[in-house]
Structure 1
Amino acid sequence: MQKIKTALLSYGMSGKIFHAPFLELHPGFELTGAWERSKHLIQDDFPLVKSYPTLDAVLQDDVDLVVVNTPVDTHFEYAEAALLAGKHVLVEKAFTTTVAEAEALRDLADEKKRKLAVFQNRRWDSDFKTVQELLDKDILGDIVEAEIHFDRYSPDLSAKKHKESASAGAGILKDLGPHIIDQALVLFGFPESVYADIRITRDYSVVDDWFDITLYYPTFRVRLKASFFIREPLPSYIVHGKKGSLIKSRGDVQEDELKAGKKPMVSDWGVEPVYKSGVLHTEIEGSTVRENIPTLHGNYYGFFDALHKAIRKNEPVPVSAQDGVNVMRIIGAAIESNIQKKPIKL
């Protein structure tokens, strides 16, 4: 198997936790190294790889794929440079800071005939996969309303300065927002309009840390919420249809297990505790059913496997640049709605 030589543009939490373990696990990838600015840590975990001193050093190396896992306001610059250098590119969320930047990267990748993907790994979370499978079976009837939450209790400001500085890439809307916006678009398609309320709730914060977004569809509504002041979390997925309801908590264990140093596996990985099972209350073949639903396994390996097939077999990327553009269109409309205090048509 011809391996895809892959370089990371940083080796902080994202590189160490979400990318390197799966690049190491998948036989079709070879991790060449990471661009490290001050701390040189990647060789502690992977002694044979490189610690690149500059972006140019990455782009001049024999690298097939560049992972842009740096602060959001650098995504456009670095992804553009990698595409111009003839590399395939994987960009972390948020894809860019604006719709125009997202469209420009999409078009450049098409022009250069390079693969460009967005790292929406939460599509491979156990909870989301379970909800998606049940909705695909259409056992709730016509959807009336849905909510997706990504809540935390984290009242203190982050020690990471780029997360708390008033820049175009900072704030919860472009941090947690892309996850649940992308999930809503996967489940329900692109909406007709967007209404949003975006706030700052933490003391001394200068970036948004709370949002409530409503996506308007012709016959139903989808509400997306995120906050840092939810000590007692609500269910993360609430879907009501004309036949019944589906309730599911956010139960995926992959991030916690990776942070604890566990190595991912192709199988028997991402298994949720049974007590986090969701509840399905609906009508099936004329009978009312209320039961706990078994949760599917989560596994980010699926993303990397699909990306490998996209690059080596010219199959579609697992999350496309157009998917990234669509998420940025929702974010842009949410920002405009918050300013104008009215729904924004798309």
Structure 2
Amino acid sequence: MQLVKVGLCAFGMSGKVFHAPFLKEHPGFFMAAIVERSNQKSKTKYPETTIFRSVEEMLQNADITLVVVNTPVQTHFDYVKKALEAGKNVIVEKPFTVDVSAAEQLVQLAKEKDLFLSVYQNRRFDRDYLQVQNILEDGKLGTLKEVEIRFDRFRTEPSAKEHKENPLLKGSGALHDLGSHLIDQATQLFGFPEKLFADVFSMKGKEFANDYFEIILYYKNNLRVRLKSSVFSKEAHYAYILHGDKGSFLQERTDDQESELVSGAIPTYNEEWTKPLTEYDGILNYLNKDFETERILTSSEPGNYMNYYQDIYEHIVFGADLPSPATEIIQNMKIIEAAFESSREEKVIFLNNNI
């Protein structure tokens, strides 16, 4: 098996949870380098990996062909640009960059260098999202009329992460963070909308970055898709609510890969590694071909973030399609920028000229 040597730009939560375990367990990757500015915490689990004290030092000295930029979003443009200029392919954490202009510059640079640039949209591999995909493909809901996708938390106190909480920093806040996932799922499922209306603000107060958003996406076939997130949600809502002219589907957010990884679970290659559900997590209520109501309790199958890295590997070795290419994610970022404009101007924003 061809071996792809990888460098990881940071070993915080993102590195420890979402990247290093999968790079370690996938037989096609070798994690050759990790940037730790002052510690060497990675040595315990990854003794074979060389530690560098800066991204620049790693790019200059490490024997790698792929770089994972998993630092705060405000640094993404600089580090991705340096990695591309050093001749490395790049995976960058969502939401890619702080604005569309920076993202477009990086896409152009990757094209000029004949390198790939992929955005790590791991929520495409959540069990609950995959179940929604399956339900839509089955067609039992008929023509969709209304959809709601939400990602709520109960975090009433600000975190200690300046890059996420400081409203003066571009790219901070929930819309860039969780919003990048919800927008990506909406566009993956339904394509790009015709227009939108948004409400974006901070429930904790103006001294903090936005922690609440609601976006209504308008589609040409009269479909309405609502995306919503709040940090003042003590009781869980259904994460996905879909209504069509033949039925409805309600899906809970039950993917537990992140929590299992945080607790120390080790993902496995080419097989399921998360715990199976012990209860139902969805409700399908629809009219069958005899126009009789059928109400079914459903259970989603496990998701696997390893599949993202498998797709990356197959792109490198076999020329398969690149997962979540940066050119695609730029369109999602245009929706983020339009949502801010809509909220600021308190008006509907048409996207025909922007997307």
TM-score by length of 2: 0.95
Percent identity of paired positions between Structure 1 and Structure 2: 44
Counterpart residue type for residue 38 of structure 2: S
Alignment of 1:1-346 (within 5 A): 1-60=1-60, 61-165=62-166, 166-203=168-205, 205-218=207-220, 219-265=222-268, 266-286=270-290, 287-346=292-351
Change (3 A) 1:40 1:162: farther
Partner SS, residue 195 of structure 1: strand
Change (3 A) 1:175 1:272: farther
Alpha-carbon shift at residue 38 of structure 1 (Å): 2.6
- C-alpha distance in 2 between matches for 1:222 and 1:274: 30
Greater Cα offset, 138-147 or 259-268: 259-268
Is residue 117–residue 326 contact of structure 2 (8 Å, CA) maintained in 1?
Answer: yes
- C-alpha distance in 2 between matches for 1:272 and 1:120: 23
Is residue 158–residue 164 contact of structure 1 (8 Å, CA) maintained in 2?
Answer: yes
- C-alpha distance in 2 between matches for 1:270 and 1:342: 43
1:306-339 CA distance string (max 9 Å, x none): 0011112222111111221011011010011111
TM-score by length of 1: 0.97
Counterpart residue type for residue 217 of structure 1: Y
Counterpart residue type for residue 230 of structure 1: S
Counterpart residue type for residue 254 of structure 2: G
Is residue 183–residue 227 contact of structure 2 (8 Å, CA) maintained in 1?
Answer: yes
- C-alpha distance in 1 between matches for 2:280 and 2:85: 46
Is residue 126–residue 297 contact of structure 1 (8 Å, CA) maintained in 2?
Answer: yes
Change (3 A) 1:276 1:106: farther
Is residue 145–residue 240 contact of structure 1 (8 Å, CA) maintained in 2?
Answer: yes
Change (3 A) 1:204 1:213: closer
Change (3 A) 1:328 1:242: same
**Structure 2 unmatched runs, 5+:** none
Is residue 251–residue 276 contact of structure 1 (8 Å, CA) maintained in 2?
Answer: no
Is residue 126–residue 271 contact of structure 1 (8 Å, CA) maintained in 2?
Answer: no
Change (3 A) 1:159 1:27: same
1:166-202 CA distance string (max 9 Å, x none): 3002101111110111000011100011111001111
Change (3 A) 1:44 1:27: same
Alpha-carbon shift at residue 204 of structure 1 (Å): 7.0
Tell me how large the CA RMSD over aligned residues is.
Answer: 1.3
Is residue 32–residue 64 contact of structure 2 (8 Å, CA) maintained in 1?
Answer: yes
Greater Cα offset, 310-319 or 73-82: 310-319
- C-alpha distance in 2 between matches for 1:276 and 1:257: 19
Is residue 272–residue 295 contact of structure 1 (8 Å, CA) maintained in 2?
Answer: no
Greater Cα offset, 155-164 or 301-310: 155-164
- C-alpha distance in 2 between matches for 1:120 and 1:226: 18
1:41-85 CA distance string (max 9 Å, x none): 111221121111122222122111100101011111111111111
Is residue 126–residue 270 contact of structure 1 (8 Å, CA) maintained in 2?
Answer: no
Alpha-carbon shift at residue 272 of structure 1 (Å): 4.7
Is residue 199–residue 211 contact of structure 1 (8 Å, CA) maintained in 2?
Answer: yes
1:273-325 CA distance string (max 9 Å, x none): 23252100012222321101121211001110000111122221111112210
- C-alpha distance in 2 between matches for 1:141 and 1:226: 27
Partner SS, residue 343 of structure 2: helix
- C-alpha distance in 2 between matches for 1:222 and 1:284: 25
Change (3 A) 1:86 1:192: same
